[in-house]
Amino acid sequence: MKGYNFAYLDEQTKRMIRRAILKAVAIPGHQIPFGSREIPLPYGWGTGGIQVTAAILGADDRLKVIDQGADDTTNAVSIRRFFARTADVATTTKTADATVIQTRHRIPETALRDGQIIVYQVPQPEPMYRLEPSRVETRRMHALADYGLMHVKLYEDIARLGHIGISYDYPVMVNARYLMAPSPIPAFDNPKMHMMPALQLFGAGREKRIYAVPPYTEVRSLDFVDHPFHPARAPHACGLCGAGDSYLDEVLTDDRGGRLFVCSDTDYCETRRADGQVGAEGVPVGMPGGAVEATQ
């Protein structure tokens, strides 16, 4: 784009971010402060993820951007356009074809492989912020690996409610050392982070932190022996493709309790339907009236 460097950020800034990323990879799960820049998108809308993506993107990369698992949600469209405009990189909606995937709130259903990088947009990198708002305090707790506060919170949930009451942004221990916020992905996605072959990078722009999980690193969701971690999903099959293993969105279809459960991962759903899988409320691909025509 005229007047701007490749992928918007100047090379000095990219270098600073890459240094932070390298440090983050070297200390899995540890939050690295970095000199976050203003991005022409608002704070809280993916500025951390955008800076990480901008710092790692090369001219021959193929970028996929998802929000809520979908490529066609407005903010995903907006961020994909930002990079198509400022870096002129190829974009894709296919998880398998992407070299870099920027995501908000989901990990794709299709398993990621060696060589891919997934960049998470992180609103709040501090996993204990609801329990201890002072970052001076939480930094000390991380340094001492003093995570009793979080265990007590989970215990109290079980004592009062019978279950752990966290259903997204469910805290994980990385490499048996750092407590980490996985970003607000549903707890359903947490197991995908464990020993993932792809590199996982996390960018929090407003909070000015970068952290990482290198490939094949242990990522454990906190739990207790007698209350094991439970990754929940709606107990249904996708109405369009019939998948019984994917994370589902619940779509209200009328005001009389009618609802449709569909895959939140649009690429996964479309790929299955292209392969001939049809759910209870779907129509085969190519037929008129197909429910999920691309709106672009």
Q: Of 240, 124, 230, which Cα lies nearest the Cα of 183?
A: 124
Q: Of 295, 259, 266, which Cα lies nearest the Cα of 280?
A: 259
> Taking a C-beta distance cutoff of 8 angstroms, is the pair 263, 109 a contact?
yes
Of residues 48, 203, 263, 279, which has the active-site annotation? Answer: 263
Q: Which positions ≥6 away from 166 have C-beta within 8 Å?
A: 154, 157, 187
List the one residue from 1, 10, 110, 245 that touches other proteins (CB under 8 A). 10
Q: Using CB under 8 A as the criterion, what x/- string covers residues 170-209 for binding other proteins? A: --------------xxxxx-----------------x-xx
CB of 115 to other proteins, least distance (A): 26
Q: Using CB under 8 A as the criterion, what x/- string covers residues 217-256 for binding other proteins? A: ---------------xxx------------xxxxxxx---
Active site residue 238: yes
Q: Are strands 62-67 and 100-104 parallel, antiparallel or unpaired?
A: parallel
CB of 205 to other proteins, least distance (A): 9
Closest CB to other proteins among residues 149, 166? 166
The secondary element (H helix, E strand) that includes residue 173 is strand 172-174
DSSP string of 222-263, one letter each residue: --BTTB-------SS--TTT--SSS-EEEEE-SSSS-EEEEE
CB of 166 to other proteins, least distance (A): 8
Active site residue 58: no
DSSP structural state of residue 77: H
Active site residue 29: yes
> Taking a C-beta distance cutoff of 8 angstroms, is the pair 122, 295 a contact?
no
152 binds other proteins (CB under 8 A): no
What is the set of active-site residues?
29, 238, 241, 263, 269
Q: Using CB under 8 A as the criterion, which residues of the chain lie in contact with other proteins when the complex forms?
A: 4, 8, 10, 33-40, 42-45, 47, 67-70, 72-75, 77-78, 81, 104-106, 123, 134-136, 161-163, 165, 167-169, 184-188, 206, 208-209, 232-234, 247-253, 260, 262, 264, 291-296
